[in-house]
Amino acid sequence: MTEKLSNNPSLNVPLLSEWNHHDEEKAIASHPSTKNTVSFFRTCLNGLNAISGVGILSVPYALASGGWLSLVLLFAIAAAAFYTGTLIKRCMDKNSNIKTYPDIGELAFGKIGRLIISVSMYTELYLVSIGFLILEGDNLNNLCPIEEVQIAGFVIGGKQLFVILVALIILPTVWLDNLSMLSYVSASGVFASAVIILSISWTGTFDGVGFHQKGTLVNWRGIPTAVSLYAFCYCAHPVFPTLYNSMTNKHQFSNVLLVCFLLTTVGYASMAIIGYLMFGADVESQVTLNLPLNKVSSKLAIYTTLVNPISKFALMATPITNALKDLLPRAYKNRATNILVSTVLVISATIVALSVPFFGDLMSLVGAFLSVTASILLPCLCYLKISGTYNEFGCETIAIVTIIVAAIAMGISGTYTSVMEIVHHL
């Protein structure tokens, strides 16, 4: 999820701002104007950039966890996420004052609604930022294995050393006040995902790995993990309000969602099938860790994986630091305090990454607990409240309630499974 929420400056607003105060400069990072001047094609690119992310590395592991039949769940989650995306559009059609995702929560449930949506998004951003550090440490240690080093009397493993080094490299980027340069770098997400799929496909086809693994039809014990990781791939919903507001023709937004979800789902499914056929049950939580390091195509995939998180960490962390700065008294809002808050955030993320270095389990937790909540559950609840359809007993109400029940079941089972896996590995 490298790009999923990083493009959403709507997260920069206070948790409980007044409903009537909307900043006209709230927009996704890749398109800094909220004026409705963005074409259908440009909006599709922004949407693809938002949905496609590091989840593409974990879908082979998700498929290996649940078996071939779990692909049905991938398509079901994609369909549900597409539908809840259209519900967000319909909520915005009800009130022209809605500019951001937290605005929808406030319109539906007041300040409590804004708080719940904001906290879920900030928490997701924080955990994804931690996932970036874990991903970097795993892949760098795979490229340049280091046993242990001693620094100031402390013994540090190779993977932990790389996590710390990457954190030091990233640290100056979170000190920047203007992230417009980084926002343009984040627009490479669509291209990066395509490069990763093509490189790994080339490795399997021409570099001797092959597609010989048969896999299993279904693994019931692994279904909760598979569902959680699939849900993680579709957590771009907080970006949708700003995409919608930026469009020249807002009536086409449903078509934008359809194009984006179709293309990204084809990409995710292709990567899952390719990775599972190549490595079977032995596929790692990041498929790049399985690649032979002596092949150019493998190195291209790994280097592409490494570069993007470094450039996007600041885009993920800045909304969190801005929210924390808003909580400070006015007298302490200065450049030095901003740097201190940003530094503390990076340090805390590094400590958690060193303590819980399990990329697959962490992303599974994010998918089950936060992505399901923000991308499926909350849009349904907000739409029922805003539209008033909860008073009616029609086909749409039944469908939405069914999605809500399924989302709650996915969230509970996936969260429990991922927490147990993390505790077991600890």
The phi and psi torsions of 38 (rounded to 5 degrees) equal -90, 130
CA distances from 143 to 53, 91, 232, 250 (A): 22, 47, 26, 46
Rounded to 10 degrees, the C-alpha dihedral 113/116/120/123 comes to 140
pLDDT tens for the chain, 426 residues long, are: 444 444 444 444 444 443 333 333 333 333 334 455 777 887 887 788 778 877 898 999 999 999 999 999 999 999 999 999 999 999 998 888 888 888 899 999 999 999 999 888 888 888 888 888 998 888 888 888 887 777 776 778 878 889 999 999 888 878 875 544 444 544 566 778 888 999 999 999 998 889 988 889 999 999 999 999 999 999 888 878 878 888 888 889 999 999 999 999 999 999 999 999 999 999 998 899 899 988 899 989 888 888 767 767 876 777 788 778 878 887 777 888 888 988 999 999 999 999 887 888 888 888 888 889 989 999 999 999 998 877 777 888 999 999 999 999 999 998 998 888 888 877
Report the distance separating Cα 390 and Cα 186, nearest Å: 39
State the burial class of residue 151 (Cβ atoms within 10 Å of its Cβ: 0-12, 13-18, 19+): exposed
Q: Which residue has the tokens 């259209």?
A: 86
Please state whether 98 falls in left (phi above 0), alpha (psi between -120 and 50) or beta: beta
- Which of 140, 79, 106 lies closest to 14, judged by CA? 106
Query: What local confidence, expressed as pLDDT, does residue 12 receive?
Result: 44
Return the HEC string of 323-381.
HHHHCCCHHHCCHHHHHHHHHHHHHHHHHHHHHCCCHHHHHHHHHHHHHHHHHHHHHHH
Query: What local confidence, expressed as pLDDT, does residue 262 receive?
Result: 96
Domains and CATH numbers, the chain: 9-425 (1.20.1740.10)
Query: What local confidence, expressed as pLDDT, does residue 271 receive?
Result: 95
Rg from Cα positions in the chain: 21
Contacts of residue 198, defined as CB under 8 A and 6 or more positions apart, other chains included, come to none
Return the HEC string of the chain.
CCCCCCCCHHHHCCCCCCCCCCCCCCCCCCCCCCCCCECHHHHHHHHHHHHCCCHHHHHHHHHHHHCCCHHHHHHHHHHHHHHHHHHHHHHHHHCCCCCCHHHHHHHHHHHHHHHHHHHHHHHHHHHHHHHHHHHHHHHHHHHCCCCEEEECCEEEEHHHHHHHHHHHHHHHHHCCCCCHHHHHHHCCHHHHHHHHHHHHHHHHHHCCCCCCCCCCCCCHHHHHHHHHHHHHCCCCHHHHHHHHHHECCHHHHHHHHHHHHHHHHHHHHHHHHHHHHHHHHHCCCCHHHHCCCCCHHHHHHHHHHHHHHHHHHHHHHHHHHHHHHHCCCHHHCCHHHHHHHHHHHHHHHHHHHHHCCCHHHHHHHHHHHHHHHHHHHHHHHHHHHHHCHHHCCCHHHHHHHHHHHHHHHHHHHHHHHHHHHHHHHC
Query: What local confidence, expressed as pLDDT, does residue 225 receive?
Result: 92
Report the distance separating Cα 346 and Cα 352, nearest Å: 10
CA distances from 71 to 61, 201, 361, 402 (A): 12, 19, 19, 20
Query: What local confidence, expressed as pLDDT, does residue 54 receive?
Result: 78
Q: Which two tokens stand for residue 165?
A: 């080094």
Query: What local confidence, expressed as pLDDT, does residue 3 receive?
Result: 42
